Structure 1
Amino acid sequence: MIIDRPDKANSLTPDMLAALSREVERAADEDVRVLVLTGTGKVFSAGADLDAARAGLATDPVWERLSGAIVALPCLTIAALNGTAAGGALGMVLACDLRVAVPAAKIFYPVMKLGFLPQPSDPGRLSALVGPARAKMILMAGAKIGAEEAAAWGLIDRVVPPEALDETVATLAADALGAGPAHVAAIKRMIG
């Protein structure tokens, strides 16, 4: 799945989020073994389109619907961060099983500064990956974390040059793609 609005830093509109949710939900019914989420251009996603956020998108349940659908997929999910992941878009990234990023990627979630709350499941997922203090640095102190630091924290699993992103994702997906859907789902269930 590709977030494709590069002229607006792949900022997400209500229609885009609804379409992404439908695609993920459809994947659950199609014996998909791997789902890769990435963006077009140099930014994974700037999060919510700010005009749409101010009009109510920041608190719309579609964010939870999307991240919940990603978590519920019985397949391997990989966020291929071709660039920065910010705001609500980070929820999709946190919902994925694996996260691979290019060195220029930054991670931030400016909810404190913008006066919004994060999506309900995001703080718990973030804290599970990086610990409570680092989650507070991102959500409460507004820290922008570079890819290498995010990898050291456990938020990113691999940092690779841009030209190696697709190949790295393909390597990580290879075993799941070679297995049956039930086998992939069983191992994912065992991990939790």
Structure 2
Amino acid sequence: MIEVTQDGALWTFRLNRPDKANALTRQMLADLALAVPAAREQAKAVILTGAGTVFSAGADLDAARAGLATDPVWEELSGAIADLPCLTIAALNGTVAGGAFGMVLACDLRIAVPEARFFYPVMKLGFLPQPSDPARLVALVGPSRARLILMAGARIGASDALTFGLVDEIVEGDRLLARSRELAADALGAAPDHAAAIKRMCRD
């Protein structure tokens, strides 16, 4: 359900449960949380994507009812992605919903297909967002638009997501991974400590 592929120093993590809209189980999250640090010493760039036409519908409903919605594994995963010293790219093959936002917000860049939609209905469902998500969302879209998503339950289309700053580019589906590789090219050609230093400077 999580596919990890390596092409030299380029690593790709793919959510592969398209029959369930890539809804995330605890095992999938745990597998990702283990796989991401494994890339730390070898990857110069990481692409995070999904199979099918939806990036992720968020938590699997049965798993959410069993407690996954408030499990710390979400924050562990987004923290592991954010802590990677290499360039990280979320290649969003479709809609991003609920808890799947965390891993997407933790990436350095986000590109999406035109059909992608973005919503994080924590207010409606009675949950708090993952602890680091609001600050990352505010950094991208500003406090008012963050409240629009988190408190008003707005469903944001790809064009508005681009305007807001939630995504960096809109790319047709047949070009999504190719464009991700183009964006990763300079990082793949750089020394790892050089890329890590620039990434730190962008955060400071």
**TM-score of Structure 1 vs Structure 2, range by shorter chain:** over 0.9
Aligned residues: 191
**SS at 1:88 equivalent:** helix
**Is 1:17 the equivalent of 2:29?**
yes
Structure 2 CA distance for aligned equivalents of residues 51 and 141 of structure 1:
25
In the TM superposition, residue 31 of structure 1 has moved relative to its aligned partner by 2.9
TM-score by length of 1: 0.98
Tell me the residue number matched to 2:179. 168
Pairing 1:52–2:52 present: no
Whether the 8 Å contact between 1:108 and 1:144 is mirrored in structure 2 is: yes
Unaligned runs of 5+ in 1: none
1:51 is displaced (CA, Å) by 1.2
What residue identity is the alignment partner of 2:18? P
Partner SS state of residue 129, structure 2: coil
| TM-score, normalising length: structure 2 | 0.92
Q: Which 4+ runs in 1 deviate beyond 3 A? A: none
What is the CA-CA distance between 1:85 and the residue it aligns to? 0.6
Query: Counterpart of 2:109?
Result: 98
Give the aligned residue type for 1:50. Answer: L
2:82 aligned with 1:71: yes
Determine the C-alpha separation between the residues in 1 that align with 2:134 and 2:171: 26
CA distance in 2, matches of 1:85, 1:73: 22
1:30-179, aligned counterparts within 5 Å? Answer: 30-179=41-190
CA RMSD of aligned residues (A): 0.7
Amino acid in structure 2 at the alignment position of 1:45: S
- Larger relative contact order (Cα-Cα within 8 Å, sequence gap ≥ 6): 1
* SS of residue in 1 equivalent to 2:159: helix
Distance 1:136 1:46 in 2: 20
> Kindly, what percent of the aligned residue pairs are identical?
69
> Per-residue deviation at 1:112?
1.1
Q: Which runs of 5+ in 2 are unaligned?
A: 1-12
C-alpha distance after superposition, 1:147-177 (max 9, x if no partner): 1100000000000111111121011000001
